[in-house]
Amino acid sequence: MTMDPSAQRQQVLFLYLEHSGLDGRVVAWSFHDGSGRATDLDGSPPYATGTGALRDGWRLLQASPVPQRLPGAERVAGRLEHELVFERIVDA
């Protein structure tokens, strides 16, 4: 999808799910609005699952790969693993 930068802006939504499936429960989220109208989404998760964002018109740009645990550090936890990156194009 192309975007007209003179008239449109990108909104980006990061969702982190409890497992690698898109139907997984949202456990963390971040929202960034290139139009500058909204700076954040407070309160409850904007969608209960990754699929919920798809149904609301968000376009999935990227999903993190299924984790492969490193030999010798199989039980080490760090970042939140299951990241989905969505975009939505809105009027500027």
Partner 1 sequence: MTEVGEHLLATRDVAEFVARGFLALPAVVPDELNAAAVEELGQILATWGSDARAFAPSSGQRLSAIYPEPSAIGAVLRHPPVAGALRSLLGADPVFDHDFVHHKPAGDPFGQPLHQDAMIDPSIAFDVQLFYFPNEVTPGGGGTGFVPGTHLRRVHETDVGRYVHVAGERQWEGPAGSVVLFHQGLWHRGMPNPSTTDRLMYKIRLNPTEPQVRHWDTGDLDELHNGPDDHLFARFRTDSVAGILRHRELWQGEADHRLELAARATLWRYLTGDDRFDVDWYLTRTEARSGLA
Please give the residue ranges that form the binding site for partner 1 (CB under 8 A).
14, 16-19, 24-31, 40-42, 45, 75-82
Q: Least CB distance from residue 81 to partner 1, whole Å?
A: 8
Q: Least CB distance from residue 70 to partner 1, whole Å?
A: 11
DSSP H/E element including 61: strand 59-63
Residue 63 phi/psi, 5° resolution? -125, 135
Q: Which residue type, as a one-letter code, is found at position 18? A: E
Is the CB of 8 or the CB of 51 nearer to partner 1? 51
Q: Least CB distance from residue 78 to partner 1, whole Å?
A: 5
> In the chain, what are the helix, strand and coil shares in percent, each to the nearest 5?
5, 40, 55
